[in-house]
Amino acid sequence: MSKGQETRQRLLDSAQQLMYSRSYSDVGVQEICNNAKVQKGSFYHFFASKSALTVEVLEQLKMQMIESILMPAFAKDLTPSRRFERFIDYAYQHQVQIKEEYGYVLGCPMGNIALEMSTQDETIRKKVETLFESIFYVFVDVLDDAKIAGELDADADTTELAQVCLAYGEGVLLIAKTKNDPEVVKQLLPYVSKLIGFKCLPD
């Protein structure tokens, strides 16, 4: 990676960390720069605006989420319903680790930015919308697998169920963040199987 790209990456990482642990509005360009050891002028050499940087942060966030949680959790070495169980466990462990590190449950970085910025920055809103779509496809895929495996009714609407899963996941993380308690994730997220309607639930 060239020197310039390294600087650029430091800005992205700095912004991601600061915005996730606090909020978009609470973190200024100056602070992002200080944290990344970059001068403000350089910031505007790489990014047109704070908003444009945020769109790239969101893209990075999506890639990390898919590679470090979604792909390993939904790997096809288990039955679809077991994959969901693994996903729930990963999500729980992740929030536990976040709380240890920051002292706060931080929830979903995309959901956080979505609620804060959707009415204020159309570019950011659109970006989060497509991010959610990417995650949505992952859910559709595993739900289609469940159909094939006979764990799900053949007439189930997998695209609708995928949306339902996404919504419920975001909701659980919102409550967990509000209560500042990762145990909420462990307690509530398993109900997603009732939502999906898996035929033979392991108990």
The residue type found at 64 is Q
How far is it, in rounded angstroms, from Cα 98 to Cα 6? 25
Binding to DNA by residue 27, rule CB under 7 A?
yes
Distance of CA 156 to the CA centre of its chain: 26
What tokens appear for 14 in the block?
A: 């700095």
Binding to DNA by residue 120, rule CB under 7 A?
no
Q: Rank residues 124 and 143 by Cβ distance to DNA and give the closer one.
A: 124
How many chain residues interact with a copy of itself (CB under 8 A)? 46
Instruction: Please report, as residue ranges, which positions from 13 to 42 form the binding site for a copy of itself (by CB under 8 A).
Output: 21-26
* 69, 114, 135, 143: residue in contact with a copy of itself (rule CB under 8 A): 114
**Positive or negative: CA dihedral 80, 82, 85, 89:** negative
Binding to a copy of itself by residue 109, rule CB under 8 A?
no
Residue 175 interacting partner from DNA, a copy of itself, none (CB closer than 5 to 8 Å by kind): a copy of itself
Binding to a copy of itself by residue 147, rule CB under 8 A?
no
Binding to a copy of itself by residue 164, rule CB under 8 A?
yes
What tokens appear for 62 in the block?
A: 């999506």
Binding to DNA by residue 119, rule CB under 7 A?
no
Binding to DNA by residue 16, rule CB under 7 A?
no
Binding to DNA by residue 36, rule CB under 7 A?
no
Site string for DNA, 45-84 (x = CB under 7 A): xx--xxx---------------------------------
Minimal distance, residue 6 CB to DNA, in Å: 7
Query: Around Cβ 45, how many Cβ atoms within 10 Å?
Result: 12
Binding site for a copy of itself (CB under 8 A): 21-26, 102, 104, 106-107, 111-112, 114-120, 125, 128-129, 132, 160, 163-164, 166-172, 174-175, 177-180, 184, 187-188, 191, 194-195, 197
